Structure 1
Amino acid sequence: MQTAGPRRDNRRFTRSIALAVALTTLVTSGLANAASAICSAHSPAHRVALVELYSSEGCNSCPPADNWLSQWKNSGATQSIVPLALHVDYWNSLGWTDRFSQHRFTERQQALTDLAGGHTIYTPEIFVSGRELRSWSQRDSFESRIGKVVAEPAQANVALELKAQQTPGAFNVVAQFTSKLADPAGQLEAYVAVYENSLSSQVGAGENSGVTLHHERVVRQWIGPVPLVAGNAQIRRDVRVQDAAADANLNAPADRFGVVAFVENAASGDVLQVAELAACH
């Protein structure tokens, strides 16, 4: 009887070690519960194409572009195309206020246009890695531009880590940025964009009056620019999509929210590298 106690203790110890290993594996793989789940991603060795669509619910030529962009909603696995939809605000005075619009997106669209020597902004407008592509709807033209970007070696590294919170649309973001190039002029800047999928609006006025619009990869929060200093930058932030909790009962998909992080040359508008990560649960 005296030997039974130590054996039970050994079994308890073995089970404790096994449980600890299992829990560690769950956390590091992003499969723990929503209060503590952590997931991560790192940009690849080649350049990734950031595709920015400038759109508005008040524009009747925008829904086809919105639908076009949505085909790359889950393109992160390909490590080639990272899409974002940025809703501008200059249509809001023409009958319908786009609830996803932000003036900073109008400013970014104008800034990218100015850097390229242009003057006019419009919707829908597509930029690939910081450069306008007017022929985006022509498959060969779009694929050619993407192919050229992806064929280039990455000039920066981007690492992302997300920790989910219990509140829908809330998580902690840590983004690390490292340049592979010398940047004596201090022109490299880091950004983080929080996006939301599976959105819809019933438009009651304006050019799309009476139409139900569907959106993917809509940017809800925009963080940056943060300058790279000595080739490095970090963005650490607790983020929350303000109206997400109200929709928590709508059986939202697991990939409803996510984060995109990228490095940009402020002097040219060129996006050097991108990483993206869907929020873990």
Structure 2
Amino acid sequence: MQTARTRYANRYATRYLTRVIALAVALAILSASGLASAAAAVCASHSPSHRVALVELYSSEGCSSCPPADNWLSQWKNSGATQSIVPLALHVDYWNSLGWTDRFSQHRFTERQQTLTDLSGGHTIYTPEVFVSGRELRSWSQRDSFQSRVGQVVAEPARANVALELKHEAKGAFNVDAQFTSKAADATGSLNAYVAVYQNALNSQVRAGENSGAMLHHERVVRQWIGPVPLVAGNAQIRRDIRIDDADANAPADTFGVVAFVENAATGEVLQVGELAACN
């Protein structure tokens, strides 16, 4: 039989426990709210006040000299606009008839490579080929030469601004909102905006062609390409729902990201680049 003192102690303990639980729930809600806000903040970015170097590698799984270039590009797989180098690997399709079909290849990348080559006065496209901010750099494998080109780009003030928002909807599905502004159009001619969705940590077991028997590892592979979208009165917007429909779409969200840039349509020069990795 409980005494009055025991009943009082039990009531006190129950009230205390109820308050502790309520406080814990409130703190959990506040913490979750704070984490959500932090995650939302990570899913937005703005290009810096200086130019950023867009490094485009044109590659193919059917090319035996491409894996070293792929490995070279991968050193910047976690890079971004704040680090002044934004890499992209664009797989071309003109190797596909020579024994191995590159599952990441797109004809539009072959067309872009040819366009950049034509604008620079060249005639022949090849792999691996590297362009830095729209200009070919044949000596990309020489550290000093590459750093010198990037340094020249970064030393210049930005001539365009890129703002990005990225929302991860589901596996392989994203909502992208890219805003572009520039006052350079009046002086340099028409400008175009582009968005590229890339994926890291991709592997291919090659069973034919020049790389037969090799397991190839890829970073920064462009999976979807949007553009050109002309800047009108110095402004453009690209807002799209992105979905990647293949086995690689089941990869973790943090292996995906978005790159957006402004390009001079007449010269191929990239005026500014923005980048944002996907968030959960």
TM over 0.5: yes
Per the alignment, residue 275 of structure 1 pairs with 274
State whether structure 2 residue 188 is matched by structure 1 residue 179. no
Unaligned runs of 5+ in 2: 1-17
Structure 1 residue 253: Cα displacement: 5.0
Kindly indicate whether residue 227 of structure 2 is the aligned counterpart of residue 228 of structure 1: no
CA contact 1:186–1:227 (8 Å) conserved in 2: no
Q: Does structure 2 retain, via aligned residues, the 8 Å contact 1:88–1:102? A: yes
Deviations 1:81-107 (A, max 9, x none): 000000000000000000000000000
Identity %, equivalent residues = 78
Q: How many residues align?
A: 261
Considering only aligned residues, what root-mean-square deviation do their CA atoms show, in Å? 2.4
Residue in 1 aligned with 2:39? 30
Give, in whole Å, the separation in 2 of the partners of 1:71 and 1:270: 24
Greater Cα radius of gyration, structure 1 or 2: 2
Q: Is the 8 A contact 2:188 2:264 kept in 1?
A: no
For residues 19-98 of structure 1, the aligned pairs below 5 Å read 25-30=34-39, 39-76=43-80, 78-98=82-102
User: What are the equivalent positions in structure 2 for 1:67-216 lying under 5 Å apart?
Assistant: 67-76=71-80, 78-166=82-170, 168-183=171-186, 187-216=190-219
Gapped runs of 5+ residues in structure 1? 1-7, 32-36
Q: Quickly say closer, same or farther: Cα 1:247–1:276, change in 2 above 3 A.
A: closer
For 1:79 and 1:104, locate their aligned partners in 2 and report how far apart those are by CA, in whole Å. 28
Tell whether the 8 Å contact from 1:186 to 1:229 is kept in structure 2 after alignment.
Answer: no
Q: 1:38 to 1:115 in 2, by over 3 A?
A: same
Q: Which has the higher helix share?
A: 2
AA aligned to 2:102 is D
Runs of 4+ in 1 over 4 A off after TM superposition: 18-24
User: What is the distance in 2 between the residues matched to 1:187 and 1:247?
Assistant: 35
What do the CA deviations read for 1:152-200 (whole angstroms, capped 9, x no partner)? Answer: 000000000011112x111100000000324378510000000011001
Q: d(CA) in 2 for partners of 1:260 and 1:170?
A: 16
Task: Give the distance between the partners of 1:219 and 1:181, measured in 2 at CA.
Answer: 27
Q: Residues 256 and 70 (structure 1 numbering): CA distance in 2 closer, same or farther, change over 3 Å? A: same
Compute the displacement of 1:76 (Å): 1.4
Per-residue CA deviation, residues 237-265 of structure 1 (Å, 9 max, x unaligned), is: 00011115x663xxx45521000000000
Q: Conserved in 1, the CA contact under 8 Å of 2:59 and 2:91?
A: yes
**Whole-angstrom distance in 1 between the partners of 2:271 and 2:37:** 28
TM-score by length of 2: 0.87
Alignment CA distance shift 1:185-1:49 (3 Å) = closer
Q: What is the SS of the residue equivalent to 1:101?
A: coil
TM-score, with structure 1 as normaliser: 0.86
Q: Does 2:216 align with 1:217?
A: no
CA deviation digits over 1:47-66, x for unaligned, max 9? 00000000000000000000
Single out whichever of 235-244 and 21-30 deviates more from structure 2. Answer: 21-30
The aligned amino acid for 1:258 is G
User: Aligned match of 1:243 in 243, 246, 271?
Assistant: 246
Distance 2:81 2:118 in 1: 33
Q: Distance in 2 between matches of 1:247 and 1:175?
A: 22
Residue 257 of structure 2 is matched in structure 1 by 258
| 1:44–1:79 CA contact under 8 A, matched in 2 | no
Q: Distance in 1 between matches of 2:84 and 2:224?
A: 23
Whether the 8 Å contact between 1:183 and 1:230 is mirrored in structure 2 is: no
- Distance, in Å, in 2 between the alignment partners of 1:127 and 1:262 is 14
